[in-house]
Amino acid sequence: MVAAALVCRTLSLVKDLVEQIQMRMLILQKIKKKVEYLILNQLRMFSPEKLWYIDQMVKVLSEAGNYVKDEVWHALIVVITNAPNLHGYTVRALYKAVQKSSEQETLVRVAVWCIGEYGEMLVGNAGMLDVEDPITVTEAEAVDLVETAIKCHTSDLTTQAICLVALLKLSSRYPSCAKRINDIVLHQKGSLVLELQQRAIEFNSIIGKHGKIRSALVERMPVLDEATYSGRRAGSVPAVVSTSLGTQPKMSNGVAKPTSAPLVDLLDLSSDDVQTPSSSGGDFLHDLLGVDLSPASPGTNNKAPKNGTDALLDLLSVGAPTAQSSSSMLDMLSSEQDNKRSEGLLDNFASLSTSSAHSSSAVSSSSMMDLLDGFGTSSSVPVAETSGPSYPSVVAFESGSLKVTFNFSKEPGNPQTTTIEAQFVNKSPDIYSNFVFQAAVPKFLQLHLEPASGSTLPASGKGSITQKLKVSNSQHGKKSLVMRVRINYKAKDKDVLEDGQISNFPHGL
């Protein structure tokens, strides 16, 4: 009995000690996160210059990168993009930091992102400052770092997605390593994560089959607007983001056209739905990577399935379009049933006479003539079936040197699909060569681009290029069409880029 009582007292004492230790650890964790947040917030608010802020942030990420919240490194990337004179210094500082602290995952994310954007500056020691010493980094060593990060067993989905995008960009910046990079990307086709599989297939297609447009797709990201990022964190995102400092040219639909909008804005598919503020930074990652990293909710079975063909597939005409949403199918089935009922009633009326004919007009006088004609002996001439409703042409895009006109048509019985014929006219006295038109649409739309009629646009409006687009609207009757376009061409041996958003589509498309 004494021994049993002693054992019970001992176990009770151990339980109390363990609970106290766990409580202390939880309190320390909360204190660490609170102190870390306060320190980083003070760094951001009272930093004397961006160079000092970047140096301090690299130190913090090297020491406590695993405890840093997503908002912190998101804000650091925004600061880096707003300091073009420090791009070379930053990518070299992060590369050296990762060599010493590769276990800090947040540090690895920021370093890999910067290597993907400014990899040529890392290898070429471009943008050297007086306070730093030159380092020797080869293209293969830079790819080694990204490959190690993507294959590390502790890397999560966010880190692997950043590595995939960085590899795609390095395939253009490091041509000598393109084959090796493609092999690394192909390895991700066997990933257990569906999102990574899909991205690997798309990126492999870009690297292997679309070399002509790859440089345009992976060009360096422009400045990220700090006010926009702050607004997204607060839950109020501006409708139009400006990335230039001067006056912007106006599009025909009244939307200001950025002079150098980022590719992520072209491929950002989150504009069709109102985003709610999230502390996880999913919106920022979606803009940054074009990858949807939000986990699927178990209670969302009533929503439309996610499109398997994303913007890059639409942009490159790779893959097959996915099925329409269940609501659209129900609407189509119900409309077909109504049509069958109407046809049955008309057949009953027509049985009164073999010479009667159906009329497509809903005017009362025409209906009365059809009823009377059923009792007569003369045969009426059948009315030709219409080819679908007509829509006015619109000037979808217009700048000082280029005009784009959209003509619309629909096939009878398929109101969800719209065929758009785009006509491009060059208003300048210079000939445009290597003309490429790209477009992206929100999630509820499916886009297919057919080959253009040519790649050379004559000068002074003496000719044009035409290209057909097919757009399927799964929310037909509920949401209007919207499209983001990007036009690349060469004028006077210089590459020119024009882009913007088109939202002045006719009603009913």
Nearest to 447 by CA among 416, 411, 479: 416
pLDDT at 344: 47
In one-letter notation, the amino acid at residue 453 is S
Domains 47-217 and 394-502 in one fold: no
pLDDT at 286: 52
The number of residues making up the chain comes to 509
By CB neighbour count within 10 A (0-12 exposed, 13-18 middle, 19+ buried), where does 122 fall?
Answer: buried
Task: Give the chain's residues under pLDDT 50.
Answer: 236-281, 290-386
Tokens of 139: 């293209």
In one-letter notation, the amino acid at residue 45 is M
Give the C-alpha separation, 476 to 289, whole Å: 29
Give the C-alpha separation, 87 to 75, whole Å: 15
pLDDT at 7: 76
Contact 498, 402 (CB under 8 A): yes
User: Please, which residues bridge with residue 425 across strands?
Assistant: 403, 464
Superfamily of domain 394-502: Gamma-adaptin ear (GAE) domain (2.60.40.1230)
Q: Domain-by-domain residue ranges, the chain?
A: 47-217, 394-502
pLDDT at 345: 42
In what helix (H) or strand (E) does residue 42 lie, and over which residues does it extend? Answer: helix 2-46
Q: Which residues touch 86 (CB under 8 Å, ≥6 apart)? A: 50, 51, 54, 80, 127, 129
Strands of 494-502's sheet in order across: 433-440, 483-491, 494-502
pLDDT at 406: 95
pLDDT at 326: 41
281 backbone φψ class: left, alpha, beta (φ>0; ψ -120 to 50): left
Please provide the CATH number assigned to the domain covering 47-217: 1.25.10
Question: First vs last Cα of the chain: how many Å apart?
Answer: 86
pLDDT at 457: 93
pLDDT at 261: 40
pLDDT at 38: 74
Contact 73, 109 (CB under 8 A): yes
